[in-house]
Structure 1
């Protein structure tokens, strides 16, 4: 960072320790690896300039995530909504017990998430990946709890519409597990 950070070593240690998790959050927010890298870099540059104050907060990772959410909102507002068109349909795969189902689910989910609005995507990331409460999510996004609840509902409904295959794929493992539980209780 070359003089930009008061505690250069402390900032580097923080980034090295949290880089993977912060990269995942950035990717979930953007849906593109290069956009995620840009988002995380922009957030880290802002945090580096305030590292002394941020490191004293007790939870600098939460601060970095909030900066990423705010940066994403700013970029979204600048460019408005970009229409993302998937490059063709999802290929048909034979069901295989080798983990291919997980890959298919991930691809379906990524494509469906890419078609959500920024706010819907952010609400799902905060609620289900970051495991924040509705109140915490509202605080991060600067909106009301009611907005978080309605956006979550709209986003999940839209995911069901955009990728009904996800519901079918998720139901089967749950039915298998339910059968195991029923056998154990007999």
Structure 2
């Protein structure tokens, strides 16, 4: 079974797309590398907590967890929603997984949109505090978009005019996977997005 790495800027729709794929791909699982980072933060003294992606332990740990999932989980695809824009780190994790399992099994997608589109999405998920609550994501936005546009971060999907189900359709089509039909109406789709968003509010 393949691995689907869903990359993109913070607020770019990675988590929503990942859970839409899980809903419509039988046997699939979501493996979120952020949990590895949060575990490292909880373990380290506060003064040593920075960007967990800078920790070699995070990159090694993510590789080992995903390598294990690819080897042992045979029921469906492994879906990984994670912003990863440092080329060296990308090669250390995604490149190493491709070397171990083959580029035909390890697929990477960068969800891209105009800056204005991403800012609008960040405002909508700000829980009434708008972009103030999303200050970290806003501070990283321009750098993320610039780097992810580079060829080494292909396959690129422009999401400005796509719904989450349509993005999931494009991911599956590119990876050669069959998705169960999307039967959600507008209201159910909206409620599903809210539920996924609330379930993934970060307090760490």
TM beyond 0.5: no
- Structure whose residues are more often helix by fraction: 1
- Structure whose residues are more often strand by fraction: 2
Greater RCO structure (CA 8 Å; 6+ sep): 2
Tell me the TM-score normalized by structure 2.
0.27
**Computing the radius of gyration over CA atoms, which structure comes out larger, 1 or 2?**
1
